[in-house]
Amino acid sequence: METRTEYDSMGPVEVDAARIYGPQTQRSFNNFKIGTHCMPLEQIKALALVKKACAKTNAICGAISEEKAKLIAQVVDEILAGKWDEEFPLCVFQTGSGTQTNMNVNEVIAHRAKQINESIPLHPNDDVNRGQSTNDTFPTAMHIASYFEIEKRVLPALDRLIASFEKLQEKGKGLQKVGRTHLQDATFIMVDQEISAFVAGLKTARKIIVEATDYLLDVPLGGTAVGTGVNTPNGYLAAMDAILPEVTGAPFRVENNKFQGMSLKDAIMTAHAALNTLATTLFKIANDVRFLGSGPRCGYGEWTLPANEPGSSIMPGKVNPTQCEALTMVCAQVFGINTTMTVCAGSGAFQLNVYMPIMIYDFIESTRLLSDAMNSFAEKCIDGVEFIPKKLKFFVEQSLQIATALTPYIGYDKAAKVVKDAYKRDTSIKSIILEEKLMSEEEFDQAVKMK
């Protein structure tokens, strides 16, 4: 590998000559060869947006020239377009503040700016990082990345799945079935009523996510090292209050408690907790769907799930509920991530949380997995579900809990005895009722009519 010699405050560093990052990036690349977890590009691009907003704000405040601010903005636009993705190779498992990634972005911007216009030299610290610290820029980028992941990935995928279940709910109207509690037969329910729980649960999860996402709009930008705003120019926050929403296209807020934003991670934890709630709801729904589609002959078999691929290497003709299984595995992963997030959010010391890289990596993994899994579940499973009226009717006719509707007429004790007799004799509730002349056929039919 051909190298070039660059210098930072610790001395010379041999940097890959093909790269436009600098010595601090190279040091981190050399020192943290841990796993394959790279800093997500979503976080990189969010951090680049922060640099653009800071450059514009610093120019307004007279801290850097207008020409430098425009040059920084030009390079940021290239980063956002994906032109320099390979220049951000750093491992997530680095310093807990994300300093090396912040400097990675600073160095790429400074070096690329030199390629564009050598007459306007940019220093990665003095210009690109002017009035900033990793301690306020990195968590700000975390909020920006998380906010857009939810807005652009999670909510559209969730809306798609809700729409699929709403169509399925409509298809289930008029179909009666046996309800089940404790995995035992219960009173009757309509198919569309059962599915209405899924629709309402997903809509509730959506509402919780939207409410939690609002906390991400408060960012600690301007707090610099420990929250006091040291080294920011006069008028910085007032200018940034307008600039950051303009640059990001979202209503981020900088007028807030910087000490909270840097030392605590309650906002991103709240947002991920909302994702965890969604995962919990999805887990329950996927389990119900695969039980309802179990069979085809010896299970519940009330639903037919799409046959997408062969299910066994040894059992011919077997088809499995693979989309349900994939979704529940995703949910299990999100549950684990939520535990990691909880440990990390509660482990910051004094003025700074030092678990931020893994928190944003895991947050973005949750949003990617949930979004992809919901889209797949909707398209490859729910959209293709068919009901089996014959099986639904069979269970209704065989159910012993039809006796529940008879208790207002014959009392609980007699109804319980009828259930036991019917089960013991392997006959229907109706036949016992008529045999013992507890009700007329007309009275029975009226009593068990679905309400």
Please state at what angle helix 66-80 crosses helix 41-60, rounded to 10 degrees.
Answer: 160
Residue ranges with strand state E in 291-403: 303-304, 386-387
Q: How far apart are the C-alpha atoms of 268 and 213, rounded to whole Å? A: 8
Distances (CA, A) of 118 to 24, 51, 444: 21, 20, 92
By three-state DSSP, how is residue 349 classified? strand
Q: Is 134 annotated as a binding residue?
A: yes
Catalytic residue among 37, 119, 164, 182, which? 182
Contact yes or no for 21/104 (Cβ under 8 A): yes
Q: Is 135 annotated as a binding residue?
A: yes
Q: Is 266 annotated as a binding residue?
A: no
Catalytic: 37?
Answer: no
Tell me how crowded residue 52 is: count the other CB atoms within 10 A of its CB. 24
Contact yes or no for 278/157 (Cβ under 8 A): no
Q: Is 424 annotated as a binding residue?
A: no
Catalytic: 111?
Answer: no
Q: Is 313 annotated as a binding residue?
A: yes
Q: Is 222 annotated as a binding residue?
A: no
Distances (CA, A) of 281 to 16, 158, 186, 202, 335: 48, 12, 22, 7, 12
| Backbone torsions φ then ψ of 14, nearest 5 degrees | -85, 115
How would you class 134 by CB atoms within 10 Å of its CB: exposed for 0-12, middle for 13-18, buried for 19 or more?
Answer: buried
Residue type, 362: D
Q: How far apart are the C-alpha atoms of 106 and 99, rounded to whole Å? A: 10
Q: Is 119 annotated as a binding residue?
A: no
Q: How far apart are the C-alpha atoms of 5 and 23, rounded to whole Å? A: 8
Q: Is 133 annotated as a binding residue?
A: yes
SS percent in the chain: helix, strand, coil, step 5:
60, 10, 30
Catalytic residue among 312, 347, 431, 440, which? 312
> Any idea how long the chain is?
451
Tell me how crowded residue 22 is: count the other CB atoms within 10 A of its CB. 22
Q: DSSP string spanning 33-99?
A: --SS-BPPHHHHHHHHHHHHHHHHHHHHTTSS-HHHHHHHHHHHHHHHTTTTGGG---BSSS-TT-H
Distances (CA, A) of 451 to 123, 221, 441: 75, 58, 18
Q: Is 357 annotated as a binding residue?
A: no
Q: Which residues are catalytic?
A: 182, 312
Binding-site residue ranges: 97-99, 123-126, 133-135, 181, 313, 318-320
Binding-site residue ranges for substrate: 97-99, 123-126, 133-135, 181, 313, 318-320
